[in-house]
Structure 1
């Protein structure tokens, strides 16, 4: 049997492998790899939990956003309704107020017209009485006095009729 370099390489390889097994290097490498695999698994599991939590939080936030949007739309619609009702109410109050003011103005005008007519009548009567007194004081003839009285009385009646209409 010839012992050559290949034989010695094979022997040294077996000794190397035997030393590795004796020093439990493959077992330590296996434990190290298992530990790394376990750490990676734990990180994956934790990241999965975090993803699930983030999804739940996102869903909650989306629900709150949807609810807030719905509530804000409801508030806007209610505000529009309230403003429409307020505008209608203010418009009605304005029209009622203007009708009341118009009615008061018409009443005041009517009262002023009546007061003016009464004053004109009073002044006309006073003028007629003064005319009669003047005629009586200056007149000598009773027939003249009666004629003037009738004439003034007719003029006064005509003037009062014109004023009344």
Structure 2
């Protein structure tokens, strides 16, 4: 049935039929009529195509092509799904790395703050030690200066006393004082 309909459609749409005014006249079926020859050649060509099953082969080729396209589309979908999975995985890893980097930066900030506070405390303690050391050195220098002044005052006083004693003391009295001093020293040594 399909073949008859296809043949009828071809006959009605053929250029030979369209060019002829009267298909049923005897002139039309003459071998001298080029339209008839073209129509017969065209029908024979279509017959050869049908005999060698060209339309079914074309349909098979088209079906194979459609199946190939379908498989390529399915493969493309699978690749797209895999790419989306990989993208989601990489985005998740990127978020994790970013969070880890944020934690590291926060820890570094905290460590830097602690180190700064510790450095401030160490600096204050060092300054306090230096102040105490300087105060100790000042007190030591002051004590040394006072001792030096006392020593100098004592030396001057001894010298002055010696001069005064030398001017006012006689030789007998000096000898008795020396003897008394030797006696005191002996008593303390024994």
TM-score normalised according to structure 2 size: 0.66
Residue in structure 2 matched with residue 70 of structure 1 by the alignment: 99
Greater CA drift, 59-68 or 93-102: 59-68
Given the alignment, which residue of 105, 110, 119 partners 2:134? 105
| 1:5 correspondence with 2:11 | no
Q: Tell which has more relative contact order, 1 or 2 (C-alpha 8 A, sep 6+).
A: 1
Q: How much does 1:19 deviate?
A: 2.7
Q: Distance in 2 between matches of 1:81 and 1:30?
A: 75
Residue in structure 2 matched with residue 124 of structure 1 by the alignment: 153
Write out aligned runs for 1:76-95 (5 A). 76-95=105-124
Given the alignment, which residue of 14, 17, 36 partners 2:65? 36
Root-mean-square deviation (Å): 2.3
Q: Relative to structure 1, is the Cα distance of residues 18 and 131 closer, same or farther in structure 2, using a 3 angstrom cutoff?
A: same
Instruction: Count residues in correspondence.
Output: 141
Q: How much does 1:67 deviate?
A: 1.1
Residue in structure 2 matched with residue 144 of structure 1 by the alignment: none
TM-score normalised according to structure 1 size: 0.75
Q: How much does 1:139 deviate?
A: 2.5
Given the alignment, which residue of 114, 120, 142 partners 2:143? 114
Per-residue displacement from partner, 1:129-155 (whole Å, max 9, x unpaired)? 1111101111269xxxxxxxxxxxxxx
SS across alignment from 2:148 = helix
- Unpaired segments ≥5 residues, structure 2: 1-23, 30-35, 171-190
Q: How much does 1:26 deviate?
A: 1.2
Residue in structure 2 matched with residue 18 of structure 1 by the alignment: 47
Q: Which has the larger radius of gyration?
A: 2
Q: How much does 1:25 deviate?
A: 1.0
Q: Distance in 2 between matches of 1:109 and 1:76?
A: 48
- Unpaired segments ≥5 residues, structure 1: 142-165
Residue in structure 2 matched with residue 50 of structure 1 by the alignment: 79
Q: Which structure shows the higher helix fraction?
A: 1
